[in-house]
Structure 1
């Protein structure tokens, strides 16, 4: 397979257009025309994981976190990040990053975290709105309906998910009285005209409104077509940050916290929880990576516990004091590591064994030493 083939699969699963505007995703280095027989997937592009890719003989390193998130003027070999770019290129290894696009995607980072914990996902925690849509309806002589509908669908109407040319057609009786100055296609000036018409109704992306209306007008036989455009209310989509899910049975927070610890790779930080240890937990929100910006979402969702990383003292304390769901805080790296296997499975499924896909075994969590007080002192 070519690198371009692998990128196409990754971008179908994690569309780059869904990444945050500040993010840096996609191909960092590598030739899309080069062959790929082995891929390594990891969370962080670090010296350790680059060394692992070299040792494994991989031609592609897929990471969650970007290497060059902020703009740079160069990548000299005596710069830590520049040194990684040089090492990758010298060893014929491409680097591809899927960051916030993998966070928001259906079957993304938080789905992998939820699956690891044993949750059945019911939807996103912070849903991305569905694309704005309109409904256009118009009325035509029966014999002209098909031609007008084709013009509308050619202009972008009638697409619903995986279905094209979707429309509602129904027959009825229309009436009108042409006034002085009119040149009616049917009927006479001054006379009330009634005849059979077909009502054609179709949805369309709001950004295609002008094009679809223009196409309808051009195909319509009436001098003054009757039509209406209605905006569909904004609805939440099935993608977005975080996920909400349920456990098979409720369990105390202390048991649930251990469940989370057992599901994730060990780190120096471990797993800690805030809340009544005996509080029953069944409905759970999760967010891979730093998720304290979604504390209010978790409260509004009415979950029993919220699992995420990088929780800060004051927001966590205020959240618990205000009666929000219990909090389970894990290491950032550990919360996103389950995604690696998910991404690997997507590639394995796409290429049927023709590409060897490995998941990194290197722990890139930055914390290496942990300690607890032996003095019994009090703050």
Structure 2
């Protein structure tokens, strides 16, 4: 799948688009390899009022005056080895925050190998791996695990085996940051909550081994009461455009303010959503029966539901995650080029709807 994700726009949703691009701008500000960041989603960068100069400068509302020069000056920084990057990753997204069923951490790679280029992606598909190798990455960090279930062989006769072989042959390590990236401060759901402008956020399900602000999902308040249809439109105009779009369950004109979010599949959290008395739940991969039962649990039909693409809901985390890793490496005296994958790994290619 080589469908490049794009950010949609709408003449009828100018205010929503402005809010979405403002949030995107905030996440792209200070991105260390700005030229690479701009190459990720050209439409998104352009919509955010940013432009590319040369190969590694991003100009616009990033910073001003001498501060911009100081921000991009990285003198006397060393190239890290993989073990150095693992220390930085652990600082940001501790493995102790991962769910018991999850499989996170290093999948392929030698700890002593130099890492000059790091690519972030949602999925470790063969297309993403080829993109990383073509760019010359020595490390690919993906949100989703390659080997979530046990295997008896990584022979190149299977899809996962071919990926393992291709990574090793290309000298590229693979690292998974999954539910630890969901749970940590600044993780997937935090970014989604920030994009929506939620305040007073807290985890839907607090982490067992973490800070009080860490855990799966987030719930918080919009700056003011908003129509469900307007909120859905704002989300749609902020996410990468994918075939499935955004599905909504509820009255378009219903007023909402308390919002629960969970990047990725979130229909296992309905009990927590109800316990927090959320007006609307924003997540992905909602199945028929859990969604129907959630709506029927209360006579007023709440929580209303906004169902996103799994890929799109988690992609938003990649640019700020790459920026955060670059900052931690710099603090530790290291420098590496960082890039976000341009490959759209949403599995759907088109959708049929009434009248289309």
Select which of 234, 246, 257 maps to 1:259.
234
User: CA contact under 8 A between 1:299 and 1:325: conserved in structure 2?
Assistant: yes
Q: CA deviation at 1:264?
A: 0.9
Q: CA deviation at 1:10?
A: 0.9
1:106 paired to 2:84: no
Select which of 46, 54, 64 maps to 2:143.
64
1:84 paired to 2:156: no
> What is the CA deviation profile of residues 50-106 of structure 1, one whole-angstrom value per residue up to 9, with x for unaligned ones?
011011111100001000111111211121111011111111100000111112222
Q: Please give the secondary structure, in 2, of the residue aligned with 1:7.
A: helix
Q: CA deviation at 1:249?
A: 2.1
The answer for the alignment partner of 1:330 in structure 2 is 308
Q: Please give the secondary structure, in 1, of the residue aligned with 2:205.
A: strand
Q: Please give the secondary structure, in 1, of the residue aligned with 2:305.
A: strand
Answer 1 or 2: which has greater strand percent. 1
> What is the CA deviation profile of residues 196-241 of structure 1, one whole-angstrom value per residue up to 9, with x for unaligned ones?
xxxxxxxxxxxxxxxxxxxxxxxxxxxxxxxxxxxxxxxx922111
Matches within 5 A, 1:188-337: 237-323=212-298, 324-337=302-315
Bigger mean CA deviation after superposition, 358-367 or 110-119: 110-119
Note closer, same or farther for the CA distance 1:317–1:368 as it changes in structure 2 (3 Å cut). Answer: same
The answer for the alignment partner of 1:16 in structure 2 is 95
User: CA contact under 8 A between 2:92 and 2:325: conserved in structure 1?
Assistant: no
Give unmatched runs, 5+ long, in structure 2. 1-79
Q: Please give the secondary structure, in 1, of the residue aligned with 2:237.
A: helix
Distance 2:122 2:232 in 1: 23
Q: Please give the secondary structure, in 2, of the residue aligned with 1:124.
A: strand
Q: CA deviation at 1:374?
A: 4.0
The answer for the alignment partner of 1:40 in structure 2 is 119
User: CA contact under 8 A between 1:285 and 1:303: conserved in structure 2?
Assistant: yes
Distance 1:117 1:85 in 2: 37
Distance 2:199 2:341 in 1: 26
User: CA contact under 8 A between 1:27 and 1:96: conserved in structure 2?
Assistant: yes
> What is the CA deviation profile of residues 257-288 of structure 1, one whole-angstrom value per residue up to 9, with x for unaligned ones?
00111111111110011111111122211001
Q: TM-score, normalised by structure 2?
A: 0.73
Matches within 5 A, 1:177-188: none
Distance 1:254 1:267 in 2: 19
User: CA contact under 8 A between 1:112 and 1:338: conserved in structure 2?
Assistant: yes
CA RMSD of aligned residues (A): 1.7
Q: Please give the secondary structure, in 2, of the residue aligned with 1:237.
A: coil
Distance 2:149 2:91 in 1: 25
Distance 1:245 1:266 in 2: 25
1:367 paired to 2:345: no
Q: CA deviation at 1:23?
A: 1.4
Distance 2:335 2:193 in 1: 29
Q: CA deviation at 1:318?
A: 2.0
Q: CA deviation at 1:130?
A: 6.5
- Find the structure with the greater CA-based Rg: 1
User: CA contact under 8 A between 1:306 and 1:325: conserved in structure 2?
Assistant: yes
Distance 1:344 1:371 in 2: 35
User: CA contact under 8 A between 1:126 and 1:241: conserved in structure 2?
Assistant: yes
1:29 paired to 2:108: yes
Q: CA deviation at 1:129?
A: 4.6
User: CA contact under 8 A between 2:97 and 2:207: conserved in structure 1?
Assistant: no
Structure 1 runs (4+) deviating above 4 angstroms are none
User: CA contact under 8 A between 1:114 and 1:121: conserved in structure 2?
Assistant: no
The answer for the alignment partner of 2:320 in structure 1 is 342
> What is the CA deviation profile of residues 148-188 of structure 1, one whole-angstrom value per residue up to 9, with x for unaligned ones?
xxxxxxxxxxxxxxxxxxxxxxxxxxxxxxxxxxxxxxxxx
